[in-house]
Chains A and B, each alone.
Chain A
Amino acid sequence: MTIGVKVLKKPPRTLAEQAYLPETVKGLRLTMSRFFKNTFGPDSEKEIATVKYPEETRVYPERFRGVHRLTQRADGSPRCVACLCCSTACPAQCIHIEPGEYAADDPRAGYERYPKVFVIDELRCISCGYCVEACPCDAIRMDTGVHMPASTHRDHFLYDKETLLSLPGADGSLLTANTRPEPGDADHPGIDRDHH
C-alpha cells in the first residue's frame, strides 16, 4: 500500500512578485519606517527592545517572586507560628525550621509556637512560591521585588531568621496588609483558655 501523498499547489505568484522589484520596494518601506522611527523619531515612539543593563534594569512585574521575607507582627516578632506548612510544601526542600515553645507566662503559649531557627537556602529555592501559598498566617512572602544578590560564597545564600525578618516588602513595610488578631483579642477566632 502506498502512502497517501497530498500534492499541494504552489501559490501562484503575481507579476509584481515575479518581477521582485516592487516587492523589494515594499520591504524597503518596512525597514525604512523602522529605521526612521528608531533613529530620528521621538523617544516615546521608539521601539528599541534592548535594555542597557547595568545602567537600566527591567522593571519586575508586580507579582514577581523575589527573595523571601518573614513578615513581622506589630510588636516586631515574627508572624510565623512554625507550623512547618511551608517547609512541607517546598518541592526543593530548601526551608529549615526548628519550632520553639513560648514561655509558660507568654499569652501565646499553648496557642502557637515560634521558629527558633528559620533558614532558607536561596540557592536551592526554585522560586515556585508554594511556601507563600501554603502559609496560613501570611508569614512568608516573596514580595520583596529584589533579585537574589550575587555572591562568591555559598554560605551567603543561607538566609537566617534575622535576615529574613529584616527584609522589607516592595512597599517598604516589614508588616503585611493582612491583620492578625492575637490570642486574647476580641476578634481572635480561636477558643480561649476557658475553652469557650
Chain B
Amino acid sequence: MIEHPILFLVGITLAKIVCVLAVAVAAFAPLLIWAERRQSAMIQDRLGPMRANIQILGMNITLGGMLHPVADALKLFWKEDFVPPKADKFLHAIAPMIALIPALAAFTVIPFGNTLYLDALNQVLPADGAIESAHAIQLQIATIDVGILFIFAVAGTGVVGAAIGGYASDNKFSLIGGVRAASQMVSYEVVLGLTLIPCFMVYQSLRLEDMAMWQHENTWGILNPALFFAFILYFVAAVAENKRVPFDLPEGESELVGGYLTEYSSMRFGMFFMGEFIEVVVLGALAVVIFFGAWDVPFLTRSGFDVFGHYLPMVHWLVALIQVVVFILKIIVLMWFQLMVRWTLPRFRYDQVMKLCWKGLLPLALINILFTGVLLLAWRS
C-alpha cells in the first residue's frame, strides 16, 4: 500500500494540519466567542445574544445564538479597513498576522490522541507490548524533542504583534497599550516557564507526547501535590499571558480606549481577536496535556476499558475516537472554567499585575521547583 512513504507522510501531515486547524479555528474560536457571551449572560441573569438567525424553508434557525459569531465575521469582512494616515502602513498591516500566526503554530506540538495504527483500525490491540506497524501515526502534527519549549518560543512571539500594533498605530493610547502588553507578556512568560519546570522534573521529558504517555501509564499530573500547585500557578500565569480579564490591562477600555487595538478595524481587528481566542485554546490544551492526562481516559487502555479486572474489549478506532473526543471535552471544560474566572474577577491595577508576577508568582514558582525536587528525592529513596 505504501509505495511512496514520503507522499504518505506528507499526506498524513497535511490531513492532521487540516484537522487541527478545523477544530481550533473553525470550531473552537466561534465556540469560545459564543460561550463567552452566553455564559456571561447566564452568570448575570441575562439571556445574551440569541437572535441572529437563518431562515431555511420557513424554519427559524438560531442555534441558541451560535450564529452571532458568523454574523460578526461577516460584519468584520465588510467593514472599512481603516488605517490612520500617519501610521506605519507596513507594520500596521503585519502586526495582526504576527499575533495570529504564532498562536496557530503552537498547535503543532500538541498531541491530541494516542498513536494510531492505520492497518489495525478494526482490531482489538494487545494491552501491552510494542506494536510493529508501518502505518503508525502520531496524532500530533510534529513530534520534536524540544516540545514545550517550542510552544513557549512561538507563543512568546505573539507579544511582538501586540507591541508592533501599538507602536505602528500612531496613537498614544495604542502605544501605551502596546507597551503594557509587551511588559506584561514578557514578565509572565518567565513565570509561565518556571511554573512548568516541576512538570519536566516529574515527567523527565520535554516532549508533550511523552508527558501524555507518562500520565496514561501512571496517573494524571494534577493528582501529584507539586504539580497541583504548579497548575494553579500555571493557570494564573496563562490567563495573564493571554491578556484576558482580570489581566486585560493592555486593552483596559476605561483608561486606554482599546489599547493596542484602538486603531484596528475590519478583519485586522478580527485577526487580533482570533489570535487571542486561539491562544486561550492553546494554553487550555497545554494545561490539559500537562496536568489532566491529555487524551487519557481513566480505565481506558489501548485494548478497551479495564475497570479493576472487568474487561470490555474495544476495537482500535473506537478507542482512538473516544480518546480524541475526551481530549477536546477536557479542553472545553478548562476553557469554561477560564471564562468562569473571567466573569468573576474585576480587573487588576497595572502595578498589581506586575507585583503579582515578580513578587508573587515568581518566588512561589521557584519554591515549587524546590518542593518538587525534595518530593522526587523522597520518592526515589
Contacts and interface: CB of A to CB of B under 8 A. Distances in A.
Interface of A: 21, 24, 27-28, 30-32, 34-35, 38-39, 47-50, 52
Contacts of B43: 31, 34-35, 38
Interface in B35-56: 39, 42-47
B46 A48 contact: yes
A52 B47 contact: yes
A42 B39 CA distance: 17
Given A35-B42, A48-B45, 7 more contacts: A24-B344, A31-B340, A34-B43, A38-B45, A48-B47, A49-B46, A52-B47
Contacts of B46: 48-50
Contacts of A50: 46-47
B187 to A, nearest CB: 18
Interface residues of B, number: 13
29 contacts: A24-B344, A24-B345, A27-B344, A27-B345, A28-B340, A28-B341, A28-B344, A31-B340, A31-B343, A31-B344, A32-B340, A34-B42, A34-B43, A34-B44, A34-B45, A35-B42, A35-B43, A35-B340, A38-B42, A38-B43, A38-B45, A39-B42, A47-B45, A48-B45, A48-B46, A48-B47, A50-B46, A50-B47, A52-B47
Nearest to B47: A50
B15 interface: no
B341 A24 contact: yes
A27 B344 CA distance: 6
B375 interface: no
Contacts of A24: 341, 344-345
Nearest to B342: A31
A21 B356 CA distance: 12
A93 to B, nearest CB: 42
A38 B42 CA distance: 6
B325 interface: no
B9 interface: no
Contacts of A21: 232
A34 B340 CA distance: 11
A21 B236 CA distance: 10
A38 B46 CA distance: 9
Contacts of B341: 24, 28
